[in-house]
Chain A
């Protein structure tokens, strides 16, 4: 009887979680008249779309790696601070997320443009002669946008696990003759592996599917999967192709998450040694 309390949620989930996904599959495998076809999926395997997928994978991968490299030391140093400072720091990491991501990305444009703020500052320092540093509309700018927007999602899980590591373990390692670097690689790193995976997921998934960042910071020159899907729905009015792309995107994410979880699972064993 009490279990029936879950009923509204179950109904809701069937109607608005499962049914929509079935519609994605339905549209992906039908044409405009509703008859079954593989041509949408086939269209994705044209050279040009394959490149879009490859590019998205690549950008998202790089963004994730960079996030990890930047976030790990932040999380590590934050965990070393006093508890009260830690609280404030976490708050400060999350605070930018309260502002709309569109507007944050937009203000990066003002920073990166050839006549933008960074170049004006550089000119102020080095004189007017130097040519402006060309940053916007490059692949680097797109990756920067991803890193900027999703960095907090990497910092928070990493910090929470590192701060929970028993300091006695670190002391023990040091007493047994580990250098601080070895403490980091042999103790801290393996112990935080599981949360590295959750951080990686939280950065990778939105990065690979983003559609706004590349339009603004890449000037429309670096079409990503998200942009292509968005265009099918909002401009080209080709739902079937768009659904097929979303379907493939879901598959890519499922596969990469499976790989990551497996990778992490293996390393969990390493902690024992």
Chain B
């Protein structure tokens, strides 16, 4: 007997270790002194401090609480009424059919509930012709919907348990049905109502999937924010927040557990009443605060600007940098005050996407209401051709003059009227971990002979990362094969797909901004990615290097430009212009360029001395000429990208700094590069082909053995055999039983 309890205890302890292992990791790394979530480098509280200055996260927390409170209250009211009505129903068929419909959101997979509501909203929104129909309202409806069944199912049993004669007695004594409900029935079912409310509140607090499909612009809940963070990197301040939540819930649960057992029995009626009052007031206060917050936020004049940008693509105030969005808020609030003498509250609502295709799908789904988006060249072409962008009023953007002449007429926006203001441009290169790369390949890179083929090298099986978006992933294969990325035939797409399928067994994972963690942490050896981000990673890990893939000695890779645009459905057009103007100003543009490491088309940046020093250009700017005199090497029309040595490798000094200068590879060819290697918007047919081929590639799995199917089949057969065996035994016994009866 004793042995068994010991075994049981050990088993339970092991189970709890399993359950709590990731949570321990999370708590541990919330005290990490570096921003890594996989290497512990020292103890510090700094992320707890960061948390309270991370306005976006705190905003998301506020939104999440607001949504949870409102949706659980609404669901509780509707649900309690429904339970009352259902309880009083006499028609059994009606009752059971209502109950089965009610349970649908519980039984259906979350993703189906989410997309079904999204389809409804998109369809109805389309009919109404509304510009933006996904938003706070739609998420609220969705949350109430999945909360309702839980409320009803926790209230209904209380009605059933209640003595039926009680309300009858009350009514005999002269109560109206309404009075009897509030005087007699409500107190009896209150525990059910409260537990339903709490359950709805927690479900809504934690929901990700359903919000993900029904949320619009400008409203971000905490789970959604975490999701977009896990697409690039989760900063430890999110871990800090989770730790705080975890600890406070632990304390709450422990307290309620400790008090509930003994003291509740001993509690006098008076004490019980007091507890009830306390709980009641607590909820009341929460409700009142919510209402006040709503009224206050409606009362003061607030201008909200919804900015939708790539992940890790703006200076966000981390580690002593300028928080560009906050700076804009302050700048505009002051400007508005100086101009009008009135106070205004500006709030930049900043959310991120991982790829152009995500942005497009989001815009098309009706989650509009974005005021600023920053898509890439080919996507701009497409958005423009579908009339999803609006013209910029250059009079409102005096800083447009900061953009260098050569970047004012890019191929995607070369008409008289301007739709875009270029934010950055860059190329796709290959980032590698020099510690893990074979010396031969390293030598090849140093000799400037390495091309795309390293990404297809068997040696690096399981060490290669590939883009997780169709255009860039197919781009790598097409550049490698020498296929024109913009005029591919069906045959060409097929070839590229074959090549990618060949690569699939070697690929560790398909990533977008997750690459930061994976490369910096040494998880992967090789990946193609955007140059600016590569530099950023190199800044964090000195083992990493970067090269431009070449074919026959010539750099063959994608060059891209990202530009700020205003969608035609924008609500704050004037403020959006102000924002673009601010982003082009020296202050903001320099901060961004230094933070994201992409090449800037902005004169104010390139001429900024601090930027030149920071980017290492300073040393190289002045060169000695034949006469031994210092002459500036660069003239006004230069562009700046990483310095390459004669072998095409980036120059990095001992401190891990790298130099950004005028690059001769790209200098002469910038125009040509854009013409040859930039992606253009594809014809509908090609795009469909690309999407289909990408789908086929993604769902195809060669790396996946059949073993697991066989395993599954064996278990299934065993279960069925067991079932049949039980059935036979049962029949045998039953026969035996009947025989003995006879």
Contact = CB atoms under 8 A, between A and B. Distances in A.
Interface of A: 1-10, 12-13, 16-21, 23-24, 26-27, 48-49, 51-52, 54-55, 58-59, 61-62, 65, 70, 73-74, 76-78, 80, 84, 87-89, 91-93, 95-111, 113-117, 134, 137, 139, 148, 151-152, 180, 201, 205-206, 208-209, 211-212, 216, 218-223, 226, 228-231, 233-239, 242-243, 246, 249-250, 253, 257, 263, 266-267, 269-270, 273
Interface string B81-109: 11011101100000000100110110111
A8 B81 contact: yes
Given A148-B22, A206-B110, 16 more contacts: A7-B85, A13-B102, A51-B699, A54-B709, A62-B715, A103-B239, A104-B26, A106-B226, A110-B37, A111-B21, A115-B38, A115-B523, A180-B4, A223-B699, A235-B358, A246-B115
Contacts of B313: none
A106 B234 contact: yes
B189 to A, nearest CB: 13
A243 B115 CA distance: 8
A9 B249 CA distance: 32
A20 B468 contact: no
A148 to B, nearest CB: 7
Given A100-B226, A102-B226, A6 B510 contact: no
Contacts of B261: 84, 87
A226 B698 contact: no
Contacts of A80: 5, 8
B701 A55 contact: yes
A12 B147 CA distance: 12
A219 B213 CA distance: 22
B109 A220 contact: no
Contact of A61 (B86, B109, B141, B712): B712
Given A48-B696, A58-B709, A220-B511, A103 B701 contact: no
B85 A70 contact: no
B698 to A, nearest CB: 6
Contacts of A107: 22-23, 25-26, 29, 37, 239
A221 B120 contact: no
Nearest to B180: A2
Contacts of A243: 115, 119
Nearest to B37: A110
Interface SS majority for chain A? helix
A113 B523 contact: yes
B238 interface: yes
A269 B246 CA distance: 44
Interface SS majority for chain B? helix
Contacts of A221: 504, 507, 509-510, 701, 703-704
A93 to B, nearest CB: 7
B287 interface: no
B365 interface: yes
11 contacts: A6-B81, A6-B84, A17-B105, A58-B709, A100-B242, A107-B23, A109-B38, A220-B511, A222-B701, A233-B213, A233-B365
Interface stretch (B271-279, B484-492, B573-581, B727-735): B727-735
Nearest to B177: A2
B206 interface: yes
B16 interface: yes
Given A77-B11, A103-B242, A62 B108 contact: no
Given A54-B709, A117-B38, A230-B111, A273 B730 contact: yes
Contacts of B206: 97-98, 100-101
Nearest to B120: A20
Contact of A5 (B84, B113, B208, B246): B84
B18 A148 contact: yes
B699 A48 contact: yes
A110 B38 contact: yes
Interface string B708-742: 11011001100000010011001001100100000
Given A113-B38, A205-B107, A55 B25 contact: no
A74 B727 CA distance: 28
A21 B177 CA distance: 36
Given A51-B701, A223-B698, A230-B111, A236 B357 contact: yes
In the A-B complex, list the 3 residue pairs whose CB atoms are closest, starting with the nearest.
Answer: A6-B85, A219-B509, A9-B82
A9 B148 contact: yes
B314 interface: no
B165 interface: no
Contacts of B234: 103, 106
Contacts of B355: 235
Nearest to B1: A180
Nearest to A205: B109
A228 B355 CA distance: 17
A137 B524 CA distance: 12
Given A48-B696, A220-B468, A239-B122, A246 B111 contact: yes
Contact of A137 (B148, B508, B698): B508
Contact of A8 (B8, B29, B82): B82
Given A91-B253, A243-B119, A234 B730 contact: no
A96 B19 contact: yes
B110 A229 contact: no
A139 B662 CA distance: 47
Given A9-B78, A237-B364, A1 B715 contact: no
A70 B704 CA distance: 26
B610 to A, nearest CB: 36
B223 A100 contact: yes
B105 A226 contact: no
B246 A99 contact: yes
Interface in B588-633: none
B122 A266 contact: no
B208 A102 contact: yes
A161 B357 CA distance: 49
A8 B701 contact: no
Nearest to B248: A98
Contacts of A55: 701, 704
Contacts of B209: 211
Interface centre among B4, B21, B223, B468 (most CB of A within 10 A): B21
B674 interface: no
A62 B708 contact: yes
B317 interface: no
A100 B226 CA distance: 9
A164 B725 CA distance: 28
Given A16-B141, A223-B698, A115 B521 contact: yes
A74 B11 contact: yes
A117 B111 contact: no
B250 to A, nearest CB: 7
Given A139-B708, A233-B115, A246-B116, A87 B521 contact: no
Contacts of B408: none
A273 B727 CA distance: 12
A226 B209 CA distance: 11
Nearest to A216: B230
A143 B52 CA distance: 36
Contacts of B142: 16
B15 interface: yes
B296 interface: no
Interface centre among B29, B38, B141, B202 (most CB of A within 10 A): B38
Contact of A62 (B226, B253, B711): B711
Contacts of B29: 107, 110
B12 interface: yes
A193 B709 CA distance: 26
A154 to B, nearest CB: 11
Contacts of A212: 208, 227
B526 to A, nearest CB: 15
A249 B122 contact: no
Contact of A17 (B145, B246, B257, B360): B145
